[in-house]
Amino acid sequence: MKKLYLVIFGIWAFVFTDQTTAQIFLQMEKIGSTRSYKFPLGQEITFKLKGRDYFVTEKITGFKPDEQLIITESELFFAHQIQELQPADFYHRRGRFFIYPLYALGGSATAAGVVGTIYERKLRPGLLLPGPVIFGVAWLLNQWIDRPYKTNKYRFRVVDLRMTVPGEQIEESKEWISP
């Protein structure tokens, strides 16, 4: 029975792989490294194009891999025109997992310092200082991690992993149309 499920899944995957859109994506590659990040259709990105001094937040609606063209909700641009990119979710960056606990630690230490100062009825900087310092360190780390990706360290390109040749589909359709 297990083999039957594997065969059915294999046939399903073979038939529907050409129609999937997850195989076309914007890839951001770190120059000199094997690290790369993928931005599929439907992901919201914040980017700045060359020649502009402002960021635009758009959702990716399509790609043209042959021309390296990215289609968003309101504009078209080429992958090499991206100057800076900020993905909507920064969770793929290292260090994100410990920032929120630092915020919580800073907030609780601040609250403990205020409660301790009220309880002792004496202003003690040793109780009040650590909480805001930890909170400030968490904020600085958050600002550092949320910095945009710049093109001097990263290269952008549209990748198509579908198993078709772009001109092949047109030739096949002509064969069926002509008598």
Output the six-digit token pair for 106.
């800073």
| Domain parsing of the chain, residue ranges | 20-90+148-162, 96-141
Q: What is the distance of C-alpha 62 from the center of its chain?
A: 16
Return left, alpha or beta for 90; rule: phi > 0 is left, psi -120 to 50 is alpha, else beta.
Answer: alpha
Q: What is the pLDDT of residue 93?
A: 59
pTM: 0.56
Orientation of helix 130-145 relative to helix 99-120, angle to 10°: 160
Kindly give the confidence (pLDDT) of every residue in the chain, 179 residues in length, as a single tens digit, with 9 standing for 90 and above. Answer: 777 777 787 776 666 654 555 688 888 888 888 888 888 888 888 889 999 899 888 899 988 888 888 889 888 899 889 888 876 655 555 656 677 788 888 888 888 888 888 888 888 788 888 889 998 998 888 877 777 777 778 888 888 887 666 565 555 544 544 44
Q: Where are the alpha helices (DSSP H) in the chain?
A: 2-16, 99-120, 125-128, 130-145, 168-177
